[in-house]
Structure 1
Amino acid sequence: MRISRRVAAAAAAMAVVLPLSACGGNDDSGGNNTVEVFTWWADGGEKAGLDALVGVFGQQCPGQTFRNGAVAGGAGSNAKQVLASRLQTGAPPDTFQAHAGAELVDYVKAGQVEDLSGEYDQWGLRHAFPQGLIDNLTYQGKIYSVPANIHRANVVWTNKKVLDRAGVTTALTSMDQLFAALDKVKRSGVAAPLALGKDWTQLMLLETVLISDLGPQKFTGLWNGATDWKSAEVAKGIDDYKRLLGYSNQDRDALDWTDAERLIMNGRAAYQLMGDWEAADLDAKGFKDYGYFTFPGNGKTFQWLADSFTLPRNAPNPDGARCWLKTVGSTDGQQAFNTKKGSIPARTDADPAKYPTYQQSAMADWKTFAQVPSCAHGAACSQGLQGAANSAVAKFSTDLDTAALQNALAQATSQYATS
């Protein structure tokens, strides 16, 4: 995938003819049996996960035809622009990917998505998903999407050979230890030991630093108004973030997350902060010399996001879209998808033994760690706030003005408060 400020062209439609829907409910699709599924999963482990989910869709929804409406670009940066245009012109896909949480409120307020509360009751999803996730998906008493997974954002990925050569052998549990390790790697000959990409990837890194410096409760308060953005604690977090940027690659503003990931793979960097979709991507690319750990100082904190799917208003094939949504929320659908995607199932009844090693550890942490939402991936922030925050950190990447960044984030949070 590659982020561009220009809208990327939509991927070619992939017709996978599958046998006729047994989804249930009245057929209000006017004879249309094509289901256009709009995502930003176009490459690597993300595409592998989508393909696996499509296979289950074929089994559970015979007669429906899957059409791939993917638009490439990390975190959906390009896809959201294309989707916004289609929704505004009354040409929605049958279903589209959106991050669960505050990001969905934009679509709800615009009247662009349908209430799925009845489907949750019919399909037993209120009992399948944890109550905290149900609460996060609910807006003014109604539910508007079905989550396919839970991703963890605050994970550091490493090149084990680079660390071995540098003599970094101990686990890192604090920011001070992280800075010491970065210095050690740099002395070993690696000019930029921290691999970093543009805008939203920088916001992810800033968030994890703030979790370390503020703790999970105060970090969450940054997005709901309970924590003052202009506090001394936030100022310290931004100072620590600025210090981290000094260890990163100078071309960070030109790279997508996969470009930065290549710095890890080719030994030009030792560390990258990225969500756990990186595990599936590295596996898909055949790179095995990697390690991972929770960002130093985050302790037992699980920063989460979730990919979910909606039913757009005036979808061409709502009956087929509902069957897709039912597949997304099903045990088989979530297992097929998440074992390839690197994420964990949103359902609480999943069998950990059926998942790879990383997912097993993440599933255990999800149940016991403090859960905090990601702004960069829409769990904590509306699209407007995401955009403003991305712009603020992108500017900071060049001018390194800590006071300006702190003020910009304070103003953005106030302006785009979700109610």
Structure 2
Amino acid sequence: MRALVLMVFLQWFVVCQSCFGTDNKTAEVIHWWVSGSENQALQEVAKAFEAEGFKWSETPVKASYQAKSVAITRMLDGVPPTMVQWHAGVALEELYEEGLIRSLAELAQTERWRSVIPAVLWDKLSYDGTLLAVPLTLHGSNWMWGNRQVLDDLDLSFPQTWEALISMAPKIREAGVIPLAVGGQAWQVRLLFNNYLLGVGGPDLYRSVIVEQDPAVIESPAMVSIFNGFRMLKKLIDPYSPDRGWPETTALVIEGKAAFQIMGDWARGEFLQAGKVAGDDFVCGFSPQTQDSYLVVSDVFVAPVVSDGSEEQQIQDRLARVIMNPEVQRKFNIIKGSIPPRTDVSTEGFDLCAKSAIQSLTEGSEVIPGFSMSVKGITANTIMDTIFTFWNNETVSAEQSVRMLADSIRKIRE
């Protein structure tokens, strides 16, 4: 345990660029937006904040779980940053109940934010009527991206079903192109699994397994079939998949080395930064058989507890207002690849993929909470580890996987 604490402290010490000696007009933000497009988008927030006479300082950490660990350590040590990037969802409740983050309810009421935030998102940002975070993105995690030139050269259409994707793989492979680019990190494999589960199993099965984590459903024959089908997707990937980051994986599609990638719409930011145009250079659409659903993910910012009425709290409020500014959200999300969580933001400047997302959310798609919104703590790790182990170890059967996962969920709930 002492070694773990020391490791986290050293990690924080290395990545923290401005934890000591900042003046009282400075806001320090811990985040994990380190890819080219992500960092470029975040600078829109920084510029708007500094335009109001404040100083922006950031502590970027490569992965979300590492950023959250660093932030929690800082909060527990009594040296919190001004604000911290987090995911909307059930984990916010734990932070609030532990006394680590403050309520933003008074600010939300003054600014009338509830009237411009979709109900499905508001419910994942609040606890007992108290707003706990301000949202900056509204992402969908059930997107598929394709290289237009590869598809045109091979006379292929964007696949609407998993069967169609699998059936066109040999032709793609014969052309020397990777059919499906997958980054072999646990969270990326889990994201792919969630898309397959939603597409083949449908929204009801997805909710029972991911949102409700029902052990009886998890170990059902339907889930055995899902796991077995999911393993078939390994035939579509390349041998260099293990531990590859998502931006590097997206680059394979951008460069025409891969035909498709299934990834959240943050991938679109990488296409745009590379100068690619939606429809001309790349194609976008929902992952196979998920066309009527939208798996929602949202990046938000929380305010650590500081002295009530202090200047630190006033800076937190000012930064929260900047994050929620409609024009800041428009400029940020155009670059980031997401759409604004505010419903009153102009769509000027958004491409056809973003407008498709907005249309999907406003015209009848079934909005479903994504993984980070629905699952917390050890349960999230258990689900992800089970999927990742199954993906990487051919000796582990689908029957073993669903049984182990169901048993683990039961033990967690004891």
Q: TM-score, normalised by structure 2?
A: 0.87
Q: After the TM superposition, which of the residue ranges 129-138 and 281-290 deviates more from structure 2? A: 281-290
Show CA shifts across 1:286-336 (max 9, x none).
345321111011121111100001111137822111111111122122112
Match of 1:399 in 2: 393
Which consecutive residues of structure 2, in runs of 5 or more, have no partner in the other structure? Answer: 1-7
Match of 1:39 in 2: 31
Show CA shifts across 1:257-302 (max 9, x none).
1122222233332111111111111211234532111101112111
Q: Which of 359, 368, 372 does residue 368 from structure 2 map onto?
A: 372
Superposed CA RMSD in Å reads: 2.5
Show CA shifts across 1:94-139 (max 9, x none).
1000010123233123221111122211111011111221122222
One-letter identity of the residue aligned with 1:310: V
Taking the aligned partners of 1:405 and 1:249, their CA distance within structure 2 comes to 24
Tell me by how many angstroms 1:64 deviates: 1.9
Tell me by how many angstroms 1:347 deviates: 1.0
Aligned identity (percent) is 23
Distance 1:155 1:122, change over 3 A: same
Match of 1:309 in 2: 301
Q: Which of 175, 185, 196 does residue 162 from structure 2 map onto?
A: 175
Tell me by how many angstroms 1:405 deviates: 2.9
Match of 2:180 in 1: 194
Contact 1:146 1:328 in 2 (8 A): yes
Distance 1:210 1:146, change over 3 A: same
Q: After the TM superposition, which of the residue ranges 384-393 and 108-117 deviates more from structure 2? A: 384-393
SS in 2 for 1:181: helix
Match of 2:197 in 1: 210
Match of 1:280 in 2: 269
Contact 1:153 1:374 in 2 (8 A): yes
Match of 2:226 in 1: 237
Tell me by how many angstroms 1:12 deviates: 4.3
Show CA shifts across 1:213-240 (max 9, x none).
2212331222224671112222222112
Q: After the TM superposition, which of the residue ranges 389-398 and 242-251 deviates more from structure 2? A: 389-398
Match of 1:10 in 2: 15
Match of 1:155 in 2: 143
Distance 1:153 1:134, change over 3 A: same
Match of 1:345 in 2: 340
Tell me by how many angstroms 1:177 deviates: 1.1
Match of 1:299 in 2: 291
Which consecutive residues of structure 1, in runs of 5 or more, have no partner in the other structure? Answer: 18-30
Match of 1:135 in 2: 123
Matches for 1:41-190 after TM superposition, within 5 Å:
41-59=33-51, 62-73=52-63, 76-168=64-156, 170-190=157-177
How many aligned residue pairs are there? 391
Taking the aligned partners of 1:335 and 1:89, their CA distance within structure 2 comes to 36
The answer to whether the aligner puts 1:325 opposite 2:320 as a matched pair is yes
Q: After the TM superposition, which of the residue ranges 341-350 and 244-253 deviates more from structure 2? A: 244-253
Distance 1:408 1:313, change over 3 A: farther
Match of 1:220 in 2: 207
Tell me by how many angstroms 1:154 deviates: 0.6
Contact 2:272 2:335 in 1 (8 A): no
Contact 1:253 1:394 in 2 (8 A): no
SS in 2 for 1:353: coil
Taking the aligned partners of 1:55 and 1:415, their CA distance within structure 2 comes to 48
One-letter identity of the residue aligned with 1:183: P
Contact 1:193 1:268 in 2 (8 A): no
The answer to whether the aligner puts 1:382 opposite 2:376 as a matched pair is yes
Distance 1:201 1:236, change over 3 A: same
SS in 2 for 1:270: strand
One-letter identity of the residue aligned with 1:404: Q
Taking the aligned partners of 1:105 and 1:183, their CA distance within structure 2 comes to 47
Taking the aligned partners of 2:376 and 2:71, their CA distance within structure 1 comes to 16
Distance 1:416 1:303, change over 3 A: farther
Taking the aligned partners of 1:174 and 1:102, their CA distance within structure 2 comes to 32
Q: After the TM superposition, which of the residue ranges 257-266 and 358-367 deviates more from structure 2? A: 257-266
Taking the aligned partners of 1:390 and 1:210, their CA distance within structure 2 comes to 14
Taking the aligned partners of 1:337 and 1:411, their CA distance within structure 2 comes to 43
Show CA shifts across 1:134-154 (max 9, x none).
122222332211111200111
Q: TM-score, normalised by structure 1?
A: 0.86
Distance 1:68 1:200, change over 3 A: same
Contact 1:10 1:72 in 2 (8 A): no
Tell me by how many angstroms 1:33 deviates: 1.3
